[in-house]
Amino acid sequence: MAKAFKKQALGRGLSALLQDSKVGDNSLGVENNSTQIGTIVELELDFIEVNPFQPRTQFKEETIRELASSIQELGVIQPITVRETKANTFQLVSGERRFRASKLLDFKTIPAYIRVANDQEALEMALVENIQRQDLDPIEIALSYQRLIEDIQLTQEQMSQRVGKKRSTIANYLRLLKLDPLIQTGMRDGFISMGHGRAIVNINSHADQITIYKEILANKLSVRATETLVKSYNTPKAVKPTKNNDLPEFVKNGVQKIASYFGHKIEVKMEKKGGGKILIPFHSEEDYDRILKLIERDK
């Protein structure tokens, strides 16, 4: 099955970020006296299963081929990390790109570091390793942070310590998940940058977010231009003040009451025949729904 090499010292990788699991804590029944645990071995690829906790959702074929070309020349420089789930069966903890590239090359074995980890620890290690990578898109990183909060129940302060990032950086990534899914997809596909996303997220209405997103694509707006556009959306539009002197007395008496009821300054346009129009502005879809509920409530 697996031929163990002489145990090698590992550099500062995941072991420096996460505390090694105690063998006694393992929930999957790995034998405590296994001579393979804590060693680097040449492990057959057919004995390795992919990690079901893998947070990475996209593996670009081109980058896998580039990695395969490098491995063809230099070999697998950094071993993958696996955990034994049952006899003769191992599960990836980290290193899926190296695993995929090696399979692409029809390799039979791959250097693997075997360690003990339960399901939660395997998920945490996979998430932390992915966050450390440089080729992840911002949404993948944000989703990894979210899973660490929800599944591992880490606070932002604890995450900051685990991944070596400032809390403000973590918070900025998590805010991206408030973007409309269409915009998140656009960011993942490289149509807009994280800078664009950080600007758009300041708009609460998803409909307005999409309008701005389409304008960015149509006019190839820079991040700075996008920030200016967002600012204009968030700045209340100046409403020309109604000249009370031009209004009939019966209208003057009711304008302030109507404005207070709807929570907006209103505009009244008078017609020559004595009729007129009351204009009630709204600033977003949510604001429109609020006004609509006020009207429906008093039916």
Whether 84 is catalytic: no
Give the active site residue among 49, 62, 96, 150: 96
| Distance (Å) of CA 195 to CA 149, 181, 187, 225 | 24, 17, 10, 11
Pairing outcome for strands 109-115 and 276-279: unpaired
Q: Write down the H helix ranges in the chain.
A: 14-17, 61-74, 96-104, 119-132, 138-150, 156-163, 167-175, 181-188, 194-200, 206-219, 223-234, 249-262, 285-297
End-to-end CA distance of the chain: 77
38 exposed, middle or buried (CB, 10 Å; 0-12, 13-18, 19+)? middle
The residues carrying an active-site annotation are 96
